[in-house]
């Protein structure tokens, strides 16, 4: 089994590539950040989970990273007439997902069960798991004040300098039993190219998660979210700098530290190989591998997925893939 830890747009592209090239996509498990979740107009919204579900169901469009391709906006127009806030754009079909999630949660189902029900209805084959069934909420400190993540990210366009990040509720949040089981029974665990602070950060900060990863016998790999010191999309660089960190692959490798055996650097940054290895824990530096990690189209997603399968094979783990 392969397990991927991921956030939204960056991570999901790799997940999509893996689902396309694995001989048996049902052996893929995706553990998704839920610290971006929030309640809006009374609805329970789980943006990263939905990005993963819609992408794997073939419903996501281009690289926009949210919502359903070709969705319509009739409900949103009506909300406007009621003068309700519409900056968080909910398409009609997307809205139905949030209604279903909210209803099922109110009936007492766990977020893990609700996600499984949505995935099954959408025909998603890989297993999609919210990182926890507990409530965790990201807040960012900015010169404009302490903002809930979606206010910062969507409403204000991620333009405020971030000087601090908090995951409210994290001290009581444990990974679900399904997540722990996936980590225990995986042959390969991949930290996707997602924002290391606000997408992967909350997953690693769950109570017991670091112990579970340390105890896992899996080959643990991380893929850089930065190429040439810049993010492909989103505020990763600004966020790392705002938190006083260097913004390059070595800093990301240092953050993942002893939880990874292999760090996959972009081929364009191959000169950083030694710096990345040296950024890991001295007693257990990661092996550094290079691949073309830029996923600009579906072929790019599959190419990176195959490269990771090849890297796993070089480290002694055979994963069955379709022939190219």
Q: Which of 146, 233, 268, 270 binds ligand GDP (CB under 6 A)?
A: 233
Tokens of residue 148, six digits:
């809930």
Rounded Cα–Cα distance for residues 155 and 159 (Å): 10
Q: Which of 3, 11, 53, 173 binds ligand GDP (CB under 6 A)?
A: 11
Instruction: Kindly identify the residues of this chain, within the stretch 32-51, that bind ligand GDP according to CB under 6 A.
Output: 48
Quick one: 6 or 137, whose CB is closer to ligand GDP? 6
Q: Taking CB under 6 A as the rule, does residue 231 contact ligand GDP?
A: yes
Which residues are CB-contacts of 249 (< 8 A; sequence separation ≥ 6)? 224, 226, 263, 265, 266, 269, 272, 276
Question: Are residues 310 and 22 in contact, defined by beta-carbon separation less than 8 angstroms?
Answer: no
Q: Taking CB under 6 A as the rule, does residue 136 contact ligand GDP?
A: no
Q: Taking CB under 6 A as the rule, does residue 130 contact ligand GDP?
A: no
Tokens of residue 93, six digits:
């079909």
Instruction: Kindly identify the residues of this chain, within the stretch 64-93, that bind ligand GDP according to CB under 6 A.
Output: 65
CB of 103 to ligand GDP, least distance (A): 25
Q: Taking CB under 6 A as the rule, does residue 303 contact ligand GDP?
A: no
Return the residue nearest ligand GDP (CB atom): 10
Q: Taking CB under 6 A as the rule, does residue 17 contact ligand GDP?
A: no
Q: Which stretch binds ligand GDP (CB under 6 A): 137-145, 223-231, 241-249, 272-280?
A: 223-231
Convert 168-191 to b/e letters by CB count within 10 Å (16 or more is b): eebeebbbbebbbebbeebbbbbb
Quick one: 12 or 104, whose CB is closer to ligand GDP? 12
- Strands of the sheet containing 137-142, edge to edge, are 145-148, 137-142, 164-168
Rounded Cα–Cα distance for residues 284 and 238 (Å): 29
Q: How far is CA 15 from CA 4, 74, 76, 146, 284, in A?
A: 7, 31, 30, 32, 27
Q: Which of 3, 8, 178, 191 binds ligand GDP (CB under 6 A)?
A: 8
With contacts defined by CB under 6 A, how many residues of the chain interact with ligand GDP?
26
Rounded Cα–Cα distance for residues 266 and 162 (Å): 26
Q: Taking CB under 6 A as the rule, does residue 193 contact ligand GDP?
A: yes
Rounded Cα–Cα distance for residues 321 and 324 (Å): 9
What track of x and - describes contact with ligand GDP for positions 248 through 277 (by CB under 6 A)?
A: ------------------x-----------
> CA nearest 137: which of 183, 190, 198?
198
HEC sequence for 98-136: HHHHHHHHHCCCCHHHHHHHHHHHHCCCCEEEECECCCC
Q: Taking CB under 6 A as the rule, does residue 242 contact ligand GDP?
A: no
Rounded to 5 degrees, what angle do the CA atoms 305, 308, 312 make? Answer: 140
Q: Which of 2, 4, 5, 9 binds ligand GDP (CB under 6 A)?
A: 9
* Exposure on the CB side of residue 93, measured as CA atoms within 13 A: 13
> CA nearest 182: which of 132, 139, 109?
132
Q: Taking CB under 6 A as the rule, does residue 232 contact ligand GDP?
A: yes
CB of 107 to ligand GDP, least distance (A): 28
Q: Taking CB under 6 A as the rule, does residue 112 contact ligand GDP?
A: no
- Name the maximum alpha-carbon separation found in the chain: 61
CB of 235 to ligand GDP, least distance (A): 8
Q: Which stretch binds ligand GDP (CB under 6 A): 88-96, 176-184, 190-198, 313-321?
A: 190-198
Q: Which stretch binds ligand GDP (CB under 6 A): 77-85, 95-103, 233-241, 280-288?
A: 233-241
Applying CB under 6 A, which residues contact ligand GDP?
6-11, 13, 48, 65, 193-195, 199, 224-227, 231-234, 236, 266, 293-295
């Amino acid at each position: 089994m392969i397990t991927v830890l991921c956030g939204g747009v960056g991570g999901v592209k790799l997940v999509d590539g893996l689902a396309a090239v694995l001989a048996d996509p049902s052996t893929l498990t995706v553990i998704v950040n839920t610290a971006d979740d929030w309640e809006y107009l009374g609805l329970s919204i789980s943006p990263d989970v939905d990005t993963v579900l819609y992408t794997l169901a073939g419903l996501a469009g281009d690289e926009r990273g949210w919502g359903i391709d070709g969705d319509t906006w009739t409900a949103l127009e009506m909300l406007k007439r009621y003068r309700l806030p519409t900056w968080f754009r909910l398409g009609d079909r997307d809205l139905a997902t949030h209604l279903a999630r909210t209803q099922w949660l109110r009936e007492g189902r766990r977020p893990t069960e609700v996600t499984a029900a949505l995935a099954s209805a959408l025909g998603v084959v890989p297993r999609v798991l919210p990182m926890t069934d507990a409530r965790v909420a990201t807040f960012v400190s900015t010169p404009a004040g302490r903002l809930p993540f979606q206010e910062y990210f969507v409403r204000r366009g991620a333009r405020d300098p971030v000087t601090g990040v908090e995951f409210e509720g994290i001290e009581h949040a444990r990974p679900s039993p399904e997540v722990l089981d996936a980590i225990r029974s995986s042959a390969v665990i991949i930290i996707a190219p997602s924002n290391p602070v606000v997408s992967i950060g909350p997953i690693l900060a769950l109570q017991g998660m670091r112990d579970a990863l340390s105890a896992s016998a899996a080959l643990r790999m991380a893929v850089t979210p930065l190429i040439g010191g810049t993010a492909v999309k989103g505020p990763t660089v600004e966020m790392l700098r705002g938190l006083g960190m260097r913004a390059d692959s070595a800093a990301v490798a240092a953050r993942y530290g002893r939880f990874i055996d292999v760090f996959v650097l972009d081929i364009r940054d191959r000169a950083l190989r030694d710096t990345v290895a040296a950024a890991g824990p001295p007693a257990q530096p990661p092996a550094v591998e290079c691949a073309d990690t830029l996923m600009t189209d579906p072929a790019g997603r599959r190419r990176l997925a195959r490269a990771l399968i090849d890297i796993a094979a070089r480290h002694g783990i055979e994963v069955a893939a379709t022939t190219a």
